[in-house]
Amino acid sequence: MFDLLVTNAALPDGRTGMSLAVQDGKFVAVDAGLLAPAHETLDAQGLLVSPPFVDAHFHMDATLSYGLPRVNQSGTLLEGIALWGELKPLLTLDALIDRAMTYCDWAVAKGLLAIRSHVDICDPRLLAVEALLEVKRRVAPYLDLQLVAFPQDGVLRDPQGMDKLKRALAMGVDVVGGIPHFERTYEQGALSVKLLCELAAEQGKLVDMHCDESDDPLSRHIETLAFETQRLGLHGRVTGSHLTSMHSMDNYYVSKLLALMAEAQVHVVSNPLINITLQGRHDTYPKRRGMTRVPEQLAQGLTVAFGQDCVMDPWYSLGSGDMLDVASMGLHVAQMTSQAAMRQCFDAVTINAAKILQLPAYGLAPGCHADFVLLQARDPVEAIRLRATRLKVFRRGQVIAQTPASTATLQLPGRPGSTAWMA
């Protein structure tokens, strides 16, 4: 007898009428029309069952700090950077933990069960590192939290930058981070990429760098990142986040760059919500959109994910932890409106992001963890369109969050008594 049997489910790959059987926290069967005894049976009623959402790029040490010590009135990157500098001396361990735990509650309610969070290591106390390692411990039963050692001010700008990054890794941080375009010169940026990739190779770590988050077409650190990935044999272990400068590069150079990235198997994370508001600030018209070249990267065979980046922090006063909101913005800005492309945007916040984080046993197949979401939608496109309600969220086959279906009661002559916005 199964622990749980989900019947009549639609899956993201287009299969319908599917059953998913769960035993001991894992899927043991995924078949059409499977009927078998189970301690609990859930009729999905033709709605979408998806693997959990995954956020491949976030800053949990700053989340929910909106208004501290003051509001970012301009909504600009520069004021956000200044605000974070003002806030850091005021941070306390307990406040960092409390805000992060609250955000994790939001995430779980939205079906977001894995997050890669960058954590600022510029403070010599490494207070944020200590706080997020404690959060990682607390949420481990229900959420996978992966941490990136992020030298936010530039690892070579700070004489102790590399030492602090190594300390963070020794404390238990998972991934080597960097921000080469924020170093003082292009040469220093390229050197930082080389040194950080060598460190990751020595310690067997993954790499995720804030890379070329700029409108500058000469910000070409992704080229160095791909080269070092290939030189050191880090294929499939390296991610370039943002890469917004690619929207300013000429097509001839990009054609060579994409080929190099594909050879190195560099992953890409785009953060559409934040980047399209922060980039293009120096343009009059035409304005650049602040996205990397997502369709071209996907066509080259690269793994591309979308990240939330910020939620109610010094840089971004909005956000709710909803990865479908991120997918929708990415879809629109990247002009990915074909049926296939819209489904790729759903993949960008699920399976692609999971691949980048190297999450074990992720997916809807026998042997995978029984982590999944029942959405009030019939397919991925409808889920994005509606920002579909997460009716039930499961972790290892157990419900950990649920939300009532979104419906409106109508009082209109000759019309139905309710609607759920599903045509």
Give the model confidence (pLDDT) of 91-150 as tens digits.
999 999 999 999 999 999 999 999 999 999 999 999 999 999 999 999 999 999 999 999
Residue 417 lies in a domain: no
Pair (241, 377) in one structural domain: no
Pair (253, 337) in one structural domain: yes
Find the CATH number of the domain harbouring 133.
Answer: 3.20.20.140
pLDDT in tens, 31-67: 999 989 999 999 999 999 999 999 999 999 999 999 9
User: pLDDT at residue 302 above 80?
Assistant: yes
Pair (162, 76) in one structural domain: yes
Q: Per DSSP, which regions of 12-111 are E strands? A: 18-23, 26-32, 38-43, 48-50, 53-58
Query: How many structural domains compose the chain?
Result: 2
Residue 418 lies in a domain: no
The Cβ-side half-sphere exposure at 341, using a 13 Å CA radius, reads 16
CA pseudo-torsion sign 243, 234, 351, 313: negative
Average per-residue pLDDT for the chain: 96
User: pLDDT at residue 410 above 80?
Assistant: yes
Residue 414 lies in a domain: no
Please report how the helices 93-109 and 127-139 are oriented relative to each other, as an axis angle in degrees rounded to 10: 40
pLDDT of residue 210: 98
Q: Kind of pairing, strands 372-375 and 390-395?
A: antiparallel
pLDDT of residue 280: 78
How far is the C-alpha of 264 from the C-alpha of 279, rounded, in Å? Answer: 27
Report, as an integer, the average pLDDT of 367-389.
98
Range of the domain at 21: 2-51+363-409
Region for 414 from its dihedrals, namely left if φ exceeds 0, alpha if ψ lies in -120 to 50, beta otherwise: left
pLDDT of residue 70: 94
Residue 47 lies in a domain: yes
Residue 382 lies in a domain: yes
Pair (367, 347) in one structural domain: no
Catalogue the active-site residues: 213
Query: 77 by DSSP, 3-state: which?
Result: helix
Confidence of residue 87 (pLDDT cuts 50, 70, 90): very high
User: pLDDT at residue 187 above 80?
Assistant: yes
Where is the domain boundary, 315, 342, 357? 357
Pair (11, 73) in one structural domain: no
Pair (383, 272) in one structural domain: no
Pair (207, 341) in one structural domain: yes
Percent with pLDDT over 90 in the chain: 93
Pair (29, 124) in one structural domain: no
pLDDT of residue 290: 83
How far is the C-alpha of 153 from the C-alpha of 168, rounded, in Å? Answer: 15
